[in-house]
Every structure is written in C-alpha cells, then in structure tokens.
Structure 1
Amino acid sequence: MKKLVIAMMAVVLFLSGCSVANLGNDESKENAKVVEKKPAELKVGVSISTLNNPFFVSIREGVTTLAKENKTKTIIVDAQNDATKQSNDIDDLIQQKVDAILINPVDSSAIQPAVEAANEANIPIIALDRSSDGGKVLTLVTSDNVKGGKMAAEFIEEKIGKGANVAQLEGTPGASATRERGEGFESIAKKELQLVESQSADFDRAKGLTVMENMLQSNPDIEAVFAQNDEMALGAVEALKSAGKANIQVIGFDGNEDGLKAVAAGEMAGTVAQKPVEMGRLALQAAYDYFAGKDVPSKIDSPLELVQAK
C-alpha cells in the first residue's frame, strides 16, 4: 500500500512538473527577448489597403525612402481594397519569413485572423493609419482621427454658422479611420450643425462623385460637405460643379497632393492634412527600434494640420 501511495505521489509530482514546464514555455514565448538586428539585416513586409489612392502611395514612399537609406529589404503588396486578398497577402509574407509586417488594413475587423497568424509566427505587427480590432499589434502609427473629425466640424461651424445643413461622405465600412473620423465629426455636428445625411463612398473618388450626386437629389439644401478623405472630397467637388452648386463648402481629410491643390485653387474650403510620408517613415522606424531592443509605444502620433483656402 505504501509503495502504491508513493507511486501515485510520484505521478502527481511528474504531472505537476509538466504543467509548470508548459506554463514556463508559454511565458518565455510571450516574454522572449528580441533577437537584435540592424536595419540592413531586416526583411520587412508591407501590406497597403490600396495603391489606387495617393495618400497610401505617399505612405509607401515614406517606407521605401527610409528603407533605401538603411538598405532594408521590403516586400510591398497592394490589397486593392480587398480584405480577403490582404489576408492572403499577409499569409504569403509570413511564409516568406519576414522579420516584421507593416499593415494598413482594408477592414479593421477582417484583418484580425491575419494579425493573429503573424502573432503565432512571432512576427511583430505595426499598424498604419488604421488598426486591427483583434490580435496583438506592436504599435499603431496614425493621426488622431477623432480630433481630425472634430476639426472639420468646428471649421464648418466657424465658416457657415450653427445649424448649417451638412452632409458626410464616410470611408470604408469597418475601417477604424472611418469610425474614428465619423465619431469626432458627429460629436460636434449632431449638436451644433444639422447633419442631414451620411453615406459611405469607400474612400474612393468616383464613388464620392456618385454618392454626392445622389445626396443632392434628396437634400438640395446642403450647405457643406465633410468627406472623410480627400479622394471622396474631390469626387464631391466634381458632382457639385456639374450640379451648378460650386458654392457648397467641401472639407476633406488627408492633405494629399490633389486635395491641397484643390484647396489652393479654392475648389475645396479646406482639408485636415495628415503627413503620410512621415507616417510611413515612423512605422518603419518603429520596426528598427523594436529590433534594436528599444521600447516602442503602443501608439505613435503623426501630426495633423488644418489647411484652409485663402
């Protein structure tokens, strides 16, 4: 009997030891020390939501310019605004054993499984402009979208006055930038302005034109339009010109080259300008800092500036 008890105790101790060992392995995986690498030793994957948008082309420029300066290899893929393609692209980057992945999500919810797959492969994720709704992201490099939305609403209130009839062109449904810019704008517009209509145009110029045309049919008394990016704003400008309503104030968001030209020409009243080239540089620099063993903050702010027509 004594031998049986001793044997059972040995089994319990053995199993307990296995349990502790597994826990230790999990902890060590979570807290594993970063293997330091120089920028020239890194291979970085970059997944952009679409390169059919000048803003994201500028983000790519920021990444590639810094990469060339430091002889970093980059693999850049264009998701073409297709969340499924983007997930497949990221799976390919994981298979290519990149050291880090910079992701500008098409859809912040749909990207979660791909982020989690990268987490399992111990590949750090750096989010650009938009974040992921789940999984572990090392840092998010973005402008304060909520603040930018508020800036746009305050600009309209100052320019036209309280109670002005305003419409909103929203970005891609599910994107964090869409939610945050809308949140900031509506926090003021629903109190100080008359938000008569708000529809998605997917951050796209052609869709911005079509949606604006439809809005004018149902709301001919619109006095101002907030477009959540410059591409949609430029589409709205074309629709307003065609309808003979070029006096309606249009404010965009991003500060891309075409948007700034339209503001300078007086075709747009203003834009909440981001710094996309700097955003790209900041994202790649975050990867450099990570592999240098430095602490990387969970959010890296990129500056905003309200640019107005003179």
Structure 2
Amino acid sequence: MLKQLTNTMLALGFSALATTAWAQDYPKPVPLADGAQAPIEAIKPKNEKFRVAYMPPATEFNYYIAIGEGIKAVAAEEGVEVFMLAPQSGADINGQMGMIQDVLTQDVDAIIFGTHDEFAAAPLLKQAVDKGMAVVMINSDIANFPTPIHGVVGYSQRNGTHKLAEWAIETYGSKPLNVGIIEGQPGYHSTERVGGFLDGIKGNENFDVVVSIDGKWNVEGGNTAGMDILQSHPDLDMIFAANDYMIIGASFAAKALGRSDIVLLGNDGDTSGLEEIAAGSVTATVNTSPFLMGKAAMHATIDALNGTYPGGWIETPTSIEDKDGAVRVLQEPEKLFPQPSKQY
C-alpha cells in the first residue's frame, strides 16, 4: 500500500523529499519523539473488514471534508469501512471529546483524528491505544503528542508558513510594511503556523508586526478580526492568517473598507481559498493538498492495522501559490475537494 502511495504522490507532483525511500520505494516516516510512539504490534483489529473512524475537529471546515474524501477514496479501493464523526464547530471541544468517548464503546479498529485541543484529547486516545485501536493523527507534524500514538500524517506547518514569509519578503520586502496577524484558536496548529511566519520575517527591518489577534479559525472570525485590525491600524499593509478561512473573512473586511491595496496571505490550499486567490481577493496561500493528505493517512492506517507500518510521521509537501499558481492548481480539479465552482 505504501508503495502504491509513493507512486501516486510522485505522479501527482509531490516532492521527492517527501518520498525518501524506505525499504524499497516506500516513503520513509520520520520517527516520533522518544516516548511518543505507541507500539504497532499492540494493535489488535476486531473486524475482518476493518472499520475506521475519521474524527476531524469540525465539519464547518471544507479542508477536513477534503481530507475525508481522500480517506474515503482509499477505503473504497481497499474494502475498508470508514465513517466520519465530528462536531459542527471547531470551538466545540467538549463535543469532540464526547464523540471520541462514544467511539471507544464501538467495534472500531482505528481512529484517524485531528483536534484543536491535544491535551483534552490525549486521555481518551490513550484509552483507544490501550484497547488495541490504531490511532493516527491527521493534518499535523506534532512529534510528541501528549500520549503515545501510532502515526502522524501531515505537512510541516512551521516550515510551510516560513516559506510563505520568504515569498512575502522576496515579493514585497523592498519597502517598510506594517503587518497584522490573525491567529487561530490557541493550540499547536496556531502556534506552529504563526511561529513559522514570524520566524521567516524575523530580522527583516521592513516587516513590522503591529497587531496579532484570534480569528477562531473560521470566516466569520476572520472577518471580525480583519475589521478590528484594519480599523484600529489604518496604515496596515499586510495580513497573514493561520488558515484560508480567516484570510477569506479578512478579505471581506478589506473590501468593505475599500482596502484593495492590502496584501492578504493564508494557509491551507482549500478550494475556496484558491478560488479567492484566482479572483484577486486574496494574494497567496500555502497549498497543503488536503485530499492527497487524506489518502496518505488512510494508507498508513491500513498498514498499521496489518502490522506493516513502522510508525512515525509521514510528511506531505507544501507549495506557495499566488494567482497564477492557484489557477494552475484549480485546473486539476481531480486533486481537489470540493470541486471548483467553475472551469479554469
């Protein structure tokens, strides 16, 4: 399965660095931190036809639905049963914890999860590991989850936004710029994405971060945050948001205030974000290919259930896409979910 995944990743343009040989042509997972790796040999599937729960932090984010479509595509190919269970809102941490508790009582062989609160989820996922379930984290590069798990699949969040900062310096760094940051809800994802961008512009005297506030990961929160920071800092030149939904919201605020001059930078490569870039409403984003990430996670999970996955982190690649790049990505709709609203 991992050999098939390698060939698929290469055929779809994944970087060679993300598919370093392991054994033969397999991608080589990076070991987790000491004490963070749950033993693969302790996984004990209950069902002849594997049953997998996909548990993202919320259904409000198309990004996680795109990951789920990649998971479902591999499940259909491999004859695996998969179902998705998640609260509507990413802020509903208690709702997600209740759903994980419910899954622990079911005949489930594996959990593929993402969460906005690692410490709340850790005790429940420890129970899943202790019950013999395979536990794989999606859309992350966390090397030391608060409790040992079997695998992590995702891009290097700090490196992705660091590359975006480098792109911003190359493109706009010839003059002084006042920069605003829209963070996600406090947690690992926000810390890494914001930290990568800040590390990337650190030491560049033309980039001055004047404000940083929470946008709650969604369009509405990004709109509120964007309106607040643009009104309180009318001399702002650039906004970086930790995901595409928040920068789309900020773009609505910029439009309402007549600020067509402001540089708007996001992170994800969500279809809606790419379309906003193609339309000129957002400037650029870190494209993280969520559909393909889902496929990688499902292959790793199936191999973990079969005892052939060594554990560790599978890194998926990123690219920086401005208007021209976004259009090129949108011209390959078979790699996207949801589908673009029109043909490019």
- Residue from 99, 110, 132 that aligns with 1:100: 110
* Alignment match, 2:194: 182
Q: Which has the higher helix share?
A: 1
Deviation at 1:30, TM superposition (A): 5.9
Which ranges of structure 2 fall in alignment gaps of 5 or more residues?
A: 1-37, 325-344
- Residue from 173, 197, 201 that aligns with 2:215: 201
Deviation at 1:293, TM superposition (A): 2.1
* Alignment match, 2:71: 63
Matches of 1:301 and 1:133 in 2, distance apart?
A: 16
- Residue from 145, 170, 184 that aligns with 2:183: 170
Give the 5 Å matches for 1:1-310: 32=41, 34=43, 41-80=49-88, 81=90, 82-130=92-140, 131=142, 133-161=145-173, 163-174=176-187, 176-192=188-204, 193-310=207-324
**3-state SS in 1 of match to 2:52:** strand
Relative to structure 1, the CA distance from residue 139 to residue 33 in structure 2 (aligned partners, 3 Å threshold; closer, same or farther) is: closer
Q: Which has the higher contact order (CA 8 A, sep 6+)?
A: 2
Matches of 2:281 and 2:98 in 1, distance apart?
A: 40
**3-state SS in 2 of match to 1:268:** coil
Deviation at 1:262, TM superposition (A): 1.2
Identity of aligned residues (%): 28
Matches of 1:37 and 1:93 in 2, distance apart?
A: 14
Relative to structure 1, the CA distance from residue 44 to residue 208 in structure 2 (aligned partners, 3 Å threshold; closer, same or farther) is: same
RMSD: 2.0
> Which of 1 and 2 has greater Rg?
1
Deviation at 1:32, TM superposition (A): 4.6
Q: Which runs of 4+ in 1 moved over 3 A?
A: 29-38, 130-133
Relative to structure 1, the CA distance from residue 155 to residue 122 in structure 2 (aligned partners, 3 Å threshold; closer, same or farther) is: same
**3-state SS in 2 of match to 1:253:** coil
Which ranges of structure 1 fall in alignment gaps of 5 or more residues?
A: 1-28
Length-normalised TM-score, structure 2 = 0.77
Matches of 2:114 and 2:311 in 1, distance apart?
A: 18
- Kept in 2: contact 1:229–1:253 (CA 8 A): yes
* Alignment match, 1:16: none
Length-normalised TM-score, structure 1 = 0.85
Deviation at 1:246, TM superposition (A): 1.4
Relative to structure 1, the CA distance from residue 76 to residue 272 in structure 2 (aligned partners, 3 Å threshold; closer, same or farther) is: same
**3-state SS in 2 of match to 1:122:** coil
* Alignment match, 2:329: none
Deviation at 1:119, TM superposition (A): 2.1
- Kept in 2: contact 1:48–1:56 (CA 8 A): yes
**3-state SS in 2 of match to 1:78:** coil
Matches of 2:119 and 2:42 in 1, distance apart?
A: 29
Counterpart code for 1:76 = M
Relative to structure 1, the CA distance from residue 225 to residue 99 in structure 2 (aligned partners, 3 Å threshold; closer, same or farther) is: same
- Kept in 2: contact 1:164–1:194 (CA 8 A): yes
Deviation at 1:205, TM superposition (A): 0.4
- The Cα offsets for residues 159-179 of structure 1, whole Å up to 9 and x where unpaired, read as 2216421111111212x2211
